[in-house]
Structure 1
């Protein structure tokens, strides 16, 4: 039990928490205007068509109305941008989580439920518990480590449970079925059409997807270097998915960033350094010639 607790709360630099927090909250703001602006259409959808998810029924969440939907959109947009600054991490964090949770319930209660947002929702629920964190701060925090770890677990469960769902509903025959072929017919790109013309390639791809998803928990047993390569493979897999059948897993990709050493990415410091070098270069050229 001690080993499990130590693994779950493995300390990480506070700078990593600050960077991940900024990334996640900026993604929430972008999600509202880029990936899920269609949720606002439910403001004018008849209430009879609203069939809340189980969690919505248990919490007795209200039927969406124009006032509720538009209010959540604008308040969440403003608060997500504010939370990205790192200020009031608990107050803003919990508020953003609650509003985005309701936004997702509204989005998924009309017959379509996506599975790419589990990791993001867990990140939003866990980040407020990490406390304050500044960009570039090397001080290590166990609370922040726990927030990242549960996000990582949720992201990997998304893969593993997707494979379990395939076996549960499609059986082992899923790997030799025409599921990718149907996806290409419905929403395939020119690249997908080229791939579909190669004999047995789609079947091999389905076998590869199943193996990849079932083996995804192995990432927790890899050394940091190899773990980074596996995360790179995850990202490349989703790039290929979007390039062929235009399915975006953007929320999941944001959650996957919990595996990365984001504290090493310091755009503000780089920008300052670049500007300082530019000023020095300009001053050199402005010196009078003696």
Structure 2
């Protein structure tokens, strides 16, 4: 079991995952959860902190506190994306983002798509140093990715458990998806809803998918990647029909992927280098002196230099 938990991975994979996660944290503040800053405008008695917020305990958020967290987290997340000072910056970003999420989720609604991302932020500082392109393998990094993967799958499996706990089989046989489509459905969802019994089939399919999700760990690598692709396609359909994105969860799920093979910076450098080398046709006509005698190799002349 310990060997499976600490299966070594390339350090480049850790570097890529670290950059992606911290860049998402910065994007999350300004794209997905900027509304957290508006929470301070409501009366303080509406703030009902989550259990962890009561245990720590954390103060009731004020405009000053939320602004400090926002700007500090935004700056530190961008710095952490570089991979420098991975422990200091990593732990600080985790602590600030955890408090940001506690504030966000302490007004009556708790989103479970943040769980795996929070776990990733908690374990990334333990993954050690990692540079893009470094193919040496690390067990510490492997452990960080494995724990994140487990949290991703727990999000699915425990979602099914919650459905059975609070709704039983009535969740699958009821009108859950129909209500979601009425409340926030798209034109595509309206078309799907017209197909008889399709929504009921989809509800049973969602339960089966969530309950069987742990099997991804016993599949061969090729099939495991295909299954993760199916996970992404499921969320793509969810976005296209009922506009629920699960963006933090999708970022955490990249822990399953060979991210070291995706190197946008290197690809950009190659592209720029290729464009900077002029083609032969761009050098103008070749003079007889440059061409040399018949059958000889062309001799570079002043035009080529």
TM-score interval for Structure 1 and Structure 2 normalised by the shorter chain: over 0.9
SS at match of 2:60: coil
Q: What's the CA shift string for 1:14-50, capped at 9, x where partnerless?
A: 0000000000000000000000000010122221111
- Quote how far apart the aligned CAs of 1:287 are: 5.5
Match of 1:56 in 2: 53
After TM superposition, the structure 1 = structure 2 runs for residues 1-290 of structure 1, keeping only pairs within 5 Å, are: 4-282=1-279, 285-286=282-283, 289-290=286-287
- Counterparts of 2:197 and 2:147, CA distance in 1: 38
Deviations 1:217-264, CA, capped at 9 Å, x for gaps: 000001111111111101110010010001110000000000000000
SS of residue in 1 equivalent to 2:49: coil
Aligned-residue offset at 1:212: 0.3
| Separation in structure 2 between the aligned mates of residue 141 and residue 214 of structure 1, nearest angstrom | 31
Alpha-carbon separation, structure 1, partners of 2:9 and 2:280: 41
Give the alignment's TM-score, normalised by structure 2: 0.92
Distance of 2:11 and 2:87 partners within structure 1: 15
Q: Distance in 2 between matches of 1:283 and 1:41?
A: 60
TM-score by length of 1: 0.97
Give the aligned CA root-mean-square deviation in angstroms. 1.0
After superposing the two structures, state which structure 1 stretch, 227-236 or 277-286, moved more: 277-286
Structure 2: distance between partners of 1:271 and 1:257: 22
Any idea what SS the aligned residue of 2:131 has?
coil
CA-CA distance at 1:276 after TM superposition: 1.3
Q: Secondary structure at the match of 1:25?
A: helix
Change (3 A) 1:11 1:198: same
Looking at structure 1, the residues matched to 151 and 104 of structure 2 have their Cα atoms a distance apart, in angstroms, of 20
What secondary structure is seen at the aligned counterpart in 2 of 1:281? coil
Aligned residues: 287
Q: Which ranges of structure 1 fall in alignment gaps of 5 or more residues? A: none
Asked which structure has the greater CA Rg, the reply is 2
Q: Distance in 2 between matches of 1:288 and 1:145?
A: 57
Q: Report the Cα offset of residue 133 of structure 1.
A: 0.3
Question: For 1:110, what is the secondary structure of its paired residue?
Answer: coil
Higher helix content, 1 or 2: 1
Consecutive unaligned residues of structure 2, counting only runs of 5 or more, are 288-305
Identify the structure with bigger relative contact order (alpha carbons < 8 Å, sequence gap 6+): 1
Q: Is the 8 A contact 1:22 1:83 kept in 2?
A: yes
